[in-house]
Structure 1
């Protein structure tokens, strides 16, 4: 009887050691993913997605997994459609003394809400992240929080608030000497001017952003700002110049860059230039975008094009798709 008792005790001890070993392996993978996050987010994401049975994680490991996975997906421009994962991290860390993790939890939940277009909730979380951000995290997060706040305010047509947030980010990036952040802040100021149809002021800041991109030598930044200059000139009715900038944006983009927005605008500009076959080609490319707004815009432009060409069956088909997406 005593031997049977010891056997059961030994079995439970073995199971406990095995479980601890498995938990230790998962903790090591989390630390490894965190160490790779800043420079190699794709590798960090691959590690996080390889962790088995993440539903069995608990406590800080589960909260950290939620933060790290959301961070990696944000860095890889993967849009989130649910807050269920990151909400656990906020609930876990909001009463914690760990301000670093608390700030990250609020910040990345704000990013998720922005993806979900819940702008009021996103603003609330970004402001909460500002309240708790520790000094040692400001270099990575402070400017980004203000830039995200500006983006939310833009979506709400709160242009004065958006401009203040962009200028605050601009001030931060000047002090930090971070040219990549400075590019986004200057571009953001130009974008707010464009939203308010102050196109001359927008052009000044877009040109400054283009100069920063060329100084950095980053093709993605250059392609991005060239595309927005094309949009600006299109808004001014200068279709020839707009087409030149949009074409330069597409040709300078690094391999693998998502260009659906540029295809949409190029199609729209070419339609205005009465280059119908080319316009149709780019609009058909842009309608396969994973983003519903690009798809809707593409079908709307195709409807106008086909209606002008008196191709009524194609116009009706495009209109049906446009209203469905709307």
Structure 2
């Protein structure tokens, strides 16, 4: 009887190790393609058995990747509540490279839940972390996300301020073109015709010049 119990215990341990290895491989593979091919990344993640049993880093990574896929596929994120677990885990262990993007995902989740105040608070936290880590692209994205939420609330002057702040941190002409266009929309809502035309022209100018420009904000 003792030998049988020991055998069953060893089998359970081996199966558990195999499941953990499979989950690790799946998370690694999904991470590699999540930005370019979120559909395929989702298929990989769906092959993980019992994701609710994942612990620690793997649990945080799983729910971050699931939320990322939903966001990139324009799916509702109302069921992505465990992105808040991912955020807290990365904060607790100071995993900065994942923390910066997770702030944005958590903020988007809060926005889907109609908690705009909490969403903006998370984005402001993300700005501070991104600045500390000299991540100009992250800073720009957070300011633009705040501005977009403010536009939805008809807070056009506040949105205008944040779009312009975002522009200051942009280091890609293509991205700047989009931000200039968003600024022109703010001025349209404020009925300032001269400014509308100026920022539309700037948007066109930067769209035609797609090369990256040097961003002086975080250079030494």
Query: Of residues 173, 176, 180 in structure 2, which corresponds to 1:182?
Result: 176
The DSSP-based 3-state class of the residue aligned with 2:135 is helix
1:120 CA displacement: 0.9
**2:197 — aligned with what?**
203
Which structure has the bigger radius of gyration? 1
- Does residue 170 in structure 1 map to residue 159 in structure 2? no
1:206 CA displacement: 2.5
Distance in 1 of aligned mates of 2:204 and 2:116: 29
Query: Of residues 126, 129, 141 in structure 2, which corresponds to 1:129?
Result: 126
- Does residue 7 in structure 1 map to residue 4 in structure 2? yes
CA deviation profile, 1:59-117 (whole Å, cap 9, x unmatched):
22111111111112212222322452212223333322222333333221101222333
1:214 CA displacement: 4.8
Query: Of residues 97, 113, 116 in structure 1, which corresponds to 2:113?
Result: 116
Which is bigger in relative contact order (C-alpha 8 A, separation at least 6)?
2
CA RMSD of aligned residues (A): 2.4
Distance in 2 of aligned mates of 1:170 and 1:57: 40
- Does residue 156 in structure 1 map to residue 153 in structure 2? yes
Note the residue ranges of structure 2 that are not aligned, 5 or more in a row: 211-220
The DSSP-based 3-state class of the residue aligned with 2:92 is coil
**1:21 — aligned with what?**
18
1:211 CA displacement: 4.3
The DSSP-based 3-state class of the residue aligned with 1:23 is helix
**2:81 — aligned with what?**
84
Aligned residues: 211
TM-score (norm 2): 0.83
Higher normalized helix content (fraction of residues): 1
Note the residue ranges of structure 1 that are not aligned, 5 or more in a row: 217-326
Contact 1:166 1:189 in 2 (8 A): yes
CA deviation profile, 1:196-238 (whole Å, cap 9, x unmatched):
122332233224324444555xxxxxxxxxxxxxxxxxxxxxx
Contact 1:73 1:79 in 2 (8 A): yes
Distance in 2 of aligned mates of 1:114 and 1:210: 31
TM-score (norm 1): 0.58
Contact 1:93 1:102 in 2 (8 A): yes
Distance 1:141 1:39, change over 3 A: farther
Contact 1:93 1:101 in 2 (8 A): yes
1:22 CA displacement: 0.8
**1:32 — aligned with what?**
29
